[in-house]
Amino acid sequence: EVQLEESGGGSVQAGGSLSLSCVVSGYTFNGDCMAWFRQAPGKEREDVVRFYTGGGKLYYADSVEGRFTISQDNAKNTWYLHMNDLKPEDTAMYYCAARQAPCSVLGRPHEYTYWGQGTQVTVSS
């Protein structure tokens, strides 16, 4: 059974940093698509970064470009979202998601098969 589990959320002041982790179990994604999504109250779930596991093409939402980066630890089958210069508008529940297929152009939530339970990020001004 494939499982994704996020951790690392918390509360920070604007300008601060947080790193989120997504531990994958039950499968090794390689050449597949993974993504980090976020959803704020009353808003649609949006993808903030979408990437090919094993390297390759990367997509960042305009709102996070230059502030968010990803990394991976293959030995731990763990993916990270590093968030810098956080802003109050980054406040949301953050989810990692994966699919056993290449990334699509649009990266809609319904295209992903596997989801973590989410971790809350709150940024105060």
What pLDDT shows up at residue 31? Answer: 85
Looking at residue 82, its pLDDT comes to 97
Q: What is the pLDDT of residues 71-101, one digit of tens each?
A: 988 899 999 999 999 999 999 999 999 999 9
Over residues 63-67, mean pLDDT: 96
pLDDT 10s digits, 39-60: 999 999 999 999 988 777 789 9
Nearest to 26 by CA among 114, 117, 94, 104: 114
Backbone torsion region of residue 75, taken as left when φ is above 0, otherwise alpha when ψ lies between -120 and 50, otherwise beta:
alpha
Smallest CA-to-CA distance from 79 within 2, 5, 1 is with 5
Rg of the chain's alpha carbons, rounded to an integer? 13
pLDDT top residue among 45 and 104: 45
